[in-house]
Amino acid sequence: MKIGQLAQQTGTPVDTIRYYEREGLLPRAARTEGNYRIYDAVHLERLAFIRRCRSLDMTQDEIRVLLRFRDTPSESCEDVNALLDAHIGHVAERIRELQQLETQLQVLRACCEEGRQAAECGILNELSHGGAELTTPAASESHLAATHAGGRQHVPPRQGGGA
Amino acid sequence: MKIGQLAQQTGTPVDTIRYYEREGLLPRAARTEGNYRIYDAVHLERLAFIRRCRSLDMTQDEIRVLLRFRDTPSESCEDVNALLDAHIGHVAERIRELQQLETQLQVLRACCEEGRQAAECGILNELSHGGAELTTPAASESHLAATHAGGRQHVPPRQGGGA
DNA sequence: GCTTGACTCTGGAGTTACTACAGGGTTTCC
DNA sequence: GGAAACCCTGTAGTAACTCCAGAGTCAAGC
Ligand SMILES: [Zn+2]
Ligand SMILES: [Zn+2]
Ligand SMILES: [Zn+2]
Ligand SMILES: [Zn+2]
């Protein structure tokens, strides 16, 4: 199959598939005479695997490790289990951080109710004279990201699994 | 004061201060004869404000809005309050997403206990044959970021607030 | 006067996991 | 044989920094 079909079947943008190939997550695809990439079931499985991992918010490096184990079925999977534990830790820690953040934000929000003049806005005032102690901005111990996502939306174009 | 002192007093890396200037969050600083930036209390206040906002995980754009209100004290602060509500929404939504994620990960984790051979690892198997339905990777409705932070650690070098 | 060292300057590249082009070539179908 | 739909490469942009090289400035010491 060609790249567009693979994209459809896995709900992955075409650009992303080519990107994974560049990054080495997918092997280089064979080409047709006209230089089109061709894929088979093996590629599809592998890409599906990658996408499931990404939907669990793993990094490429984490995925790379899992792929290595998938490729060497005779090794012990201890490290797989450990990796997953670590990743669960990443998520759990980020949740804790965000919950603290939410509390702080709610406290701050309670400083102003109605539309006052900005000069008297409890929120602006609180942000101005250090209520918080000027710490490093929300730095995770374990590589966990900030709150906002840059425009990384994609909205898959209706995924024809069984329709 | 020079940039290093400002950095110390606010717990901000020097590079970040210069970066904020480039981005227009801080006004261009005056210069000495030797072309060094000089700052006064006004700059310090403004930077502290920015850092408090960042420690609440606001985006530069969100901060820009707050700064505009800070600079025009006669306007109504309704939009400030609304912005904060929206931002609390961002955080709350990301928390919900991550909690779902954590649940999924724990289910997955339960598929394998001891170190089996990778071929029989319940986790790898589950990731291989679609347990999850191959959706778009953890895409937030409202611009909320992924779980891991790229090397954006900084470890402030001992902050001499009152010591 | 000169050196050492701490500090500062500019500009540019790297980070994550993509996304979005521009400017072409290929296939397919009528 | 011509247009639509698909595919190719390569480059640049995203958020909020971080790190570096190569150079200039300043205070102190000898
Ligand atoms: Zn992780
Ligand atoms: Zn207010
Ligand atoms: Zn927000
Ligand atoms: Zn296992």
Chain C nucleotides with an atom closer than 7 Å to a protein C-beta: 7-10, 15-21, 25-27
Q: What's the pTM value of the predicted model, to 2 decimals?
A: 0.83
- Whole-number average pLDDT of chain A: 85
In this complex, do A115 and B49 lie within 8 Å of one another by their Cβ atoms? no
pLDDT confidence of residue A118? 86
* Contacts with A85 from chain B: Cβ below 8 Å: 109
Place of tokens 């990094």: A59
CB A67 within 8 A of CB A25: yes
Give the N- to C-terminal CA distance of chain A in Å, as an integer: 19
A66 pLDDT above the threshold of 80: yes
**Is the pLDDT at A22 greater than 50, yes or no?**
yes
Max mean pLDDT range (A93-102, A136-145, B26-35, B120-129)? B26-35
Mutate to test the interface with A, among B85, B88, B134, B135 (most CBs of A within 10 A): B134
A109 in contact with B, Cβ within 8 Å: yes
CB-closest option in A149, A151, A161 to B144: A149
Q: For position A163, what pLDDT does the model report?
A: 32
| CB contact set of A127 (below 8 Å; sequence gap of 6+) | A108, B49, B52, B53, B66
Which residue is associated with the tokens 């990796």? A83
pLDDT tens figures, B24-75: 999 999 999 999 999 999 999 999 999 999 999 999 999 999 999 999 989 9
The residue among A156 and B79 whose pLDDT is bigger is B79
